[in-house]
């Protein structure tokens, strides 16, 4: 069980990020999570949205280079050791975390939400699921 992340390449100049988010806003796309990485000349906005198909289409139509990546969304109990429990599953299964970022959910306050880009998202999801760790599904992105 994976979700789709959209990675959008944008210039590292004032207003570029706002222009990209404006395209999404103009088309009623709700960003659920965002991570921004930069280099001197460009940035990569990694986003999780409520409607992947529409977001991908409007970004393409607006001239943005982007790609889709399978990532794993995890609901982590907001208690000490919650993240460590997830990471211990990855370690036991020899699953490498390339990067991760958190996002907030409005309706469920007892949990933190994390997005993990791992070397094997299918194996990661199966390992977490088998240990009773709640995964976030793509169709849940509109309700978090």
Backbone φ, ψ for residue 43 (5° rounding): -130, 165
Q: CA dist 87 to 67, 75, 95, 133, Å? A: 26, 13, 9, 11
**Architecture of the domain spanning 3-69:** 2-Layer Sandwich (3.30)
The percent of residues above 70 in pLDDT, for the chain, comes to 95
Mean pLDDT over 82-96 rounds to 95
The pLDDT-based confidence of 100 (bands split at 50, 70, 90) is very high
Reply yes or no on whether the pLDDT at 131 is more than 60.
yes
Choose among 122, 133, 140, 130: nearest CA to 1.
122
Q: Residue 38: which pLDDT band, with cuts at 50, 70 and 90? A: confident
Question: Looking at the predicted structure, is the pLDDT value of residue 77 above 90?
Answer: no
Q: pTM for this structure?
A: 0.89
User: Regarding the domain delimited by 70-137, which CATH topology (the fold level of the hierarchy) does it fall under?
Assistant: VC0802-like (3.30.2130)
Domain range summary for the chain, segments of one domain joined by +: 3-69, 70-137
């Amino acid at each position: 069980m994976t979700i789709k992340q959209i990675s959008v390449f944008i210039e590292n100049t004032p207003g570029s990020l706002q222009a990209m988010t404006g395209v999404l806003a103009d088309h009623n796309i709700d960003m659920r999570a965002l991570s921004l990485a930069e280099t001197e000349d460009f940035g990569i906005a990694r986003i999780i949205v409520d409607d992947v198909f529409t977001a991908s289409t409007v970004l393409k139509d607006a001239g943005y280079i982007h790609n889709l990546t399978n990532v794993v969304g995890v609901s982590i109990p907001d208690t000490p050791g919650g993240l460590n429990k997830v990471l211990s599953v990855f370690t036991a299964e020899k699953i490498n975390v390339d990067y991760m970022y958190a996002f907030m959910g409005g309706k469920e306050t007892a949990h933190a939400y994390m997005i993990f880009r791992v070397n094997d998202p299918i194996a990661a999801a199966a390992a977490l699921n088998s240990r009773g760790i709640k995964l976030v599904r793509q169709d849940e992105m509109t309700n978090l």
